[in-house]
Amino acid sequence: MPSHQDDQDAINFQQYLLIVKRRWLLIAIIIGSIFGLTSLVTFSQKPIYEAEGKLLFNKQNGVSSLTGVSEQLGQLSGVTNLSNPLETEAEIIRSNPIARKTIAELQLKDKLGEPLEIDNFLRNLKIKSIRGTDILQLSYRSVDPEQATIIINRLMSVYLQSNIRANRSEATAAREFLNKQLPLVEVKVIEAEAAQRRFKEKYQIVSLEEEAIEGVKRLNELSSQTTQLRAQLVDARTRSSALQNQLALNTRQAMALSTLSQSKAVQQVLSEYQKVQDELAVERSRFTDDHPIITSLLNKEQALKEQLEGRVTQTLGTSQPVPEQDLQIGELKQALTANLVQVEVERLGLENQVGVLMKAFMLYQARLRILPKLEQQQLQVQRRLQVAQTTYEQMLKRLQEVQVVENQNVGNARIVSEALLPKKPVSPRILLNLALGGFLGFFLAIGAALLLEAGDKSVKTAEEAQQLFEYPLLGTIPVFDQKVRLARGESITELPVLDNPYSSVNAAFEMLQINLGFTFSDKELKVIVISSSVMNEGKSFVAANLAVATAQMGRRVLLIDADMRRPRQHEIWKQPNLMGLSNVLVGQATLAEAAKEAVINVELLTAGTMPPNPAALLDSQRMNALLKQAAQDYDCVIIDTPPLSILADASIVGKMADGMLLIARPSVVNSAAAKATKALLEHSRVPMLGMVVNGVATDNNDYNYYYSHRNTGKNNSDRKDKIKSSLSKITGLRLL
């Protein structure tokens, strides 16, 4: 089975064919004009001949390779990675000096007999590289094949001579340049070596790597020693604290007592002072305080006391008073005091050692901290020296190579193929030009047609109409052109279903009834409203012929013309419009009085006299009651209403009916009107049955298959069964 994508592709192809049919005259004019112009230009051209020659390039140096640092001698290369050496040589061949010398040697003239301009010469010259080789292909075009051959051969000869001179001059220039630069580079080498020496002397560097290893080792040793001394210091502080608590003395007091107890001068005066005190105590038991002996002893006591204080101050080096009982202590206390002093001396020694070790640790640590920076600076100094040395060595080597090249007398190119006399012209290419003209004309013509088609906003096909409205496509009515029928000698009629029952129009309306019956087989449709988006889409034509087709199936049909402003049904049926719908709605007549039999089983209710406000009449209870009565009296009621985009009458009547059929005519309705109509119908919520496309071209019969294939049911077997049932019971359709 063909897929949906295949169907879609086929439909799109049909659309393009329709565009070509509609714009065939424009397409033919454009194709003919372009093809004719191409033919005229092609056959008016003179034959042009092309001579070709080839140059092979050796990989030999130029100035950039001679003086470069990274290039090798004898290599033909560009200055940058993006440049192509062969393209460079091609531009040299195209240069003005080469072209000017070639023109002068051959004495080339233009059409006026003047010396040939360089621009005109280069315009006919073409140079290209042969892919995968080191060969340039040179070609020159001219109406004279012999002249083209001579020009190419002479051009290659002129270039080779220029190339040899350029190579020799380049080598000389390179040697002179290198001779000037070598002393400067040598000075830079000496300066870099001196800078390295000054750096090592300034920072006392022998080997930063060994210094770093030795520094880390020394730091570990200092850390270990400091840890041991700190442990001893903690022990000394603990013993000192215990002795101080036992003696009830601080360190300073203990050292003072130890010093005084060991001072002979202090102890001697203290002994005399104690003797005087003993004598004074004895004499006071014998004499009074004012006795001369007591007074003498008191004076002596005072003198010794002052002498003792002086000896204490002299011994301790401070005037701080010391209690007399502390000047002379017992042996135990003296031993403890001496021990405390010894411990304090030990503590002070340990603290000094720890301090010295910490200073050494910090010095080593500071040195190690700056070692990375020193190493970075040393690398920079060494890098400058290395760059200078490398540059010097390379330039010295280049100088030797340049001297060798300068003594050579060869170029970097040679002729591998001389130009031969061409036998066939290369232009014009008649078949190619004609083919290109045809293709260009075709594509321009198609483009112009599509451009005009894009600017035309009207709906072109039934498929476009359905895509815009998105309603089921229930039928397509072939185009009914009265002018064409008149030219053929056929009778003019707006009721082809009645006048020509075997026409394609009649078959289309029968198919419309079948699709309605099948699509709404589960729903009784009695009242059907027919409308369109804009005028001239044939809604009145469809309503009248649908009424006839329904009546031919034995059903009683009431056809109501509800377009009171522009009524058409009385003209189609050639009936008077004196009494009609408006008269019934205002009570001037009944339905039975106003409805007139047009043909068998078809009664026509014309629009009647035009009222001041048709919309008010249509949106009245009388209109609703009229439709209910008509639905009881007739098998089918068909109502012709005004276009939806102009008046609201159709949407008003549509709400009272069982459903609405929307008529769309290609090339009449445009996309804007279609979208506005769709929005109006969605807003008014009118029950929609589907749409009918009117005025389809008779040579495009695929639409009948299209809508029946797309909108007739869930599967083929169900469709066949239901259609057979509908056809067998055609006179008993619930729809009609």
CATH code (residue 507): 3.40.50.300
What is the pLDDT averaged over residues 221-228?
78
Per-residue pLDDT at 73: 40
Per the CB < 8 A criterion, the answer to whether 722 and 521 are in contact is yes
Q: E strand or H helix at 664, and its extent?
A: strand 659-664
Instruction: Give which of 484, 501, 507, 482 is closest to 493, Cα–Cα.
Output: 482
* Residue of higher predicted confidence among 677 and 520: 677
Query: Is 465 in the same domain as 361?
Result: no
pLDDT digits (tens, 9 = 90+) for 541-554: 999 999 999 999 89
Query: Is 233 in the same domain as 325?
Result: yes
Per-residue pLDDT at 385: 81
**With 60 as the cut, is the pLDDT of residue 332 above it?**
no
pLDDT category of residue 123 using cuts at 50, 70 and 90: very high
Q: Which of 75-84, 126-135, 275-284, 545-554 has the lowest mean pLDDT?
A: 75-84
**With 70 as the cut, is the pLDDT of residue 556 above it?**
yes
Q: Report if pTM > 0.85.
A: no
Q: Return the amino acid letter for 587.
A: G
What's the distance, CA 666 to chain centroid? 43
Query: Is 461 in the same domain as 369?
Result: no
Instruction: Work out whether strand 473-478 and strand 688-696 pair parallel, antiparallel, or are unpaired.
Output: parallel
State the burial class of residue 421 (Cβ atoms within 10 Å of its Cβ: 0-12, 13-18, 19+): exposed
**With 60 as the cut, is the pLDDT of residue 482 above it?**
no
In-domain check, residue 94: no
Instruction: Show the domain range for 613.
Output: 457-719
What's the distance, CA 255 to chain centroid? 88
Instruction: Work out whether strand 557-561 and strand 659-664 pair parallel, antiparallel, or are unpaired.
Output: unpaired
Interatomic CA distance for residues 465 and 318, integer angstroms:
124
In-domain check, residue 170: no
Query: Is 579 in the same domain as 669?
Result: yes
Per the CB < 8 A criterion, the answer to whether 372 and 292 are in contact is no
Query: Is 324 in the same domain as 464?
Result: no
State the burial class of residue 732 (Cβ atoms within 10 Å of its Cβ: 0-12, 13-18, 19+): exposed
Query: Is 365 in the same domain as 483?
Result: no
In-domain check, residue 22: no
Instruction: Give which of 106, 104, 110, 136 is closest to 123, Cα–Cα.
Output: 110
In-domain check, residue 570: yes
**With 90 as the cut, is the pLDDT of residue 561 above it?**
yes
Query: Is 566 in the same domain as 665?
Result: yes
pLDDT category of residue 434 using cuts at 50, 70 and 90: confident
Query: Is 474 in the same domain as 623?
Result: yes
Residue 308 sits at the vertex; the CA angle it makes with 307 and 313, to the nearest 5 degrees, is 100
Number of domains into which the chain is organized: 2
In-domain check, residue 443: no
- Give the torsion sign (CA, 183, 185, 189, 191): positive
**With 80 as the cut, is the pLDDT of residue 584 above it?**
yes
What's the distance, CA 23 to chain centroid? 41
Q: Which of 95-99, 210-214, 725-729 has the lowest mean pLDDT?
A: 725-729
Give the SS3 label for residue 490. Answer: coil
Per the CB < 8 A criterion, the answer to whether 256 and 316 are in contact is yes
Query: Is 550 in the same domain as 666?
Result: yes
% residues pLDDT > 90 (the chain): 29
**With 90 as the cut, is the pLDDT of residue 719 above it?**
no
Interatomic CA distance for residues 518 and 513, integer angstroms:
9
Query: Is 582 in the same domain as 711?
Result: yes
Interatomic CA distance for residues 42 and 429, integer angstroms:
8
In-domain check, residue 282: yes
In-domain check, residue 727: no
Query: Is 348 in the same domain as 497?
Result: no
Token pair belonging to 4: 């949906």
Query: Is 341 in the same domain as 461?
Result: no
pLDDT category of residue 598 using cuts at 50, 70 and 90: very high
* Residue that is last in its domain, among 315, 342, 377: 377
Q: What is the DSSP letter of 81?
A: T
In-domain check, residue 561: yes
Per-residue pLDDT at 576: 93
* Residue of higher predicted confidence among 139 and 354: 139
Query: What value does the mean pLDDT of the chain take?
Result: 78
